[in-house]
Structure 1
């Protein structure tokens, strides 16, 4: 199906936000809002969001990607992913205003864009689904555990490491200091209490995200990269934290793993697979 890109400008609490709407010739009832993650703007790393939006629009799904306040071309002060709820709501308002055929929205987010989507989705009944890629759940403890498990374990099997050891080029002191720091962080952590509405704002990031997933009742597609520490940190956390295994095992949750992919799916074959999985899931 043919599609075209339309420049979008809309307001959010007195600031101007800018985006691009990829509009199919005959839009379907379900559209996609792409939420930017990290220090990115609406095009994404290696034009990932541009290519995704056009690919989804070619399948009939109008797709809007935009810059938060303070990022890209949008005005205002820079905000963290935990502070963009008003931006998401303003974008969805504009989306519905520009696409009369739209009846519901799926939010698609990578990294902390996925985390922002999880915080917001249960607050807006127009959001009927989520596509979350390598969600950001970074804590000092979680990073230390993931580094010990996935980085140091892989290093022990690395031929390069053993070459350095045998040649006397290995920095033992620096490596030992780093390892002891990670171990100390893990050993210094303890069990955390359950989270309720009253304590939610003070809870660690993974627990607030669990609350968001618990409150959102729609279907969710998770996509994980096999060569990404952020994805590994999320999976490790979810596999060992209270409440997460039950949530992720629910019938409404779909999981896909791209074993060779990096964090941003930088190769064309990986980007195409993500678009294919997203399109297939949207049809379900």
Structure 2
């Protein structure tokens, strides 16, 4: 059964949802970006239903300033108090729990890493966000990861329509050469205060077991592979470009989570 509830966080009232189940290991779902707790196209709500049907309670919430929650939206980087308050509320509303695992996708995964240590028993981190989208010195948008560029051009080379567009002069050669030139450049080490470096440090000093789930065709996952080392953390890969594990990929995601919940 699904219940709507609320809890306090630094003077604000946050909205939450509990999917009840008898199991003693529960799942906390942390939403990425500015998504509400139901997720894109209700993906997180569906995931919660599947996990609860497998016997595990699931708690979702809107952080401050998002969805039905009060307060100011400070983004994932300042969501540590929200996550900690959600963990406490989960334990209070499901007192039979002995373990809590947390799942986050994109910057929610990064938030779970950055806000260590949290009172959690394990982390499931999907497609962690690891780079800042900054402009280059020339004012042009930052290029995607080299892995993404390689995959994109390999796909285009296999497509006769793309080759025909090139012959007709319909492709921006300036962008093409800029992308190809990036493949031959050695990536400089991340600055010590960069997001990638901080995530790498967090992975090296995890306070609890973790699993990283990557959709190998997703640009964010490719950037994480390029920017961070797993430091012995288990990594599972899915041949997909779906950042949110949509469609048929949702079953793969749910199965990986149920495995970790035991």
- Give the TM-score normalised by structure 2: 0.87
Three-state SS of the structure 1 residue aligned to 2:109 is helix
> Superposition RMSD on alpha carbons, in Å?
2.4
Residue 155 (1) aligns with residue 156 (2): yes
CA–CA separation in structure 2 for the residues paired with 1:153 and 1:183: 15
1:149, distance to aligned residue in structure 2 (A): 3.1
- Give the TM-score normalised by structure 1: 0.81
Aligned to 1:131: 124
CA contact (8 A) 1:46 1:266 kept: no
Change (3 A) 1:118 1:46: same
CA contact (8 A) 2:122 2:209 kept: yes
1:191-202 equivalences under 5 Å are: 191-192=189-190
CA contact (8 A) 2:28 2:100 kept: yes
1:100-249 equivalences under 5 Å are: 100-120=95-115, 122-124=116-118, 126-140=119-133, 143-176=144-177, 178-179=178-179, 183=182, 190-192=188-190, 203-238=193-228, 244=229, 247=231
Q: Which moved more, 1:134-143 or 1:93-102?
A: 134-143
Change (3 A) 1:167 1:78: same
Residue 278 (1) aligns with residue 257 (2): yes
Residue 22 (1) aligns with residue 27 (2): no
Residue 43 (1) aligns with residue 38 (2): yes
* Greater helix fraction, Structure 1 or Structure 2: 1
Residue 265 (1) aligns with residue 258 (2): no
Q: How many residues align?
A: 254
Unmatched runs of 5 consecutive residues or more in structure 1: 196-202, 239-243
CA–CA separation in structure 1 for the residues paired with 2:146 and 2:167: 28
Unmatched runs of 5 consecutive residues or more in structure 2: 134-141
1:205, distance to aligned residue in structure 2 (A): 0.6
Three-state SS of the structure 2 residue aligned to 1:88 is helix
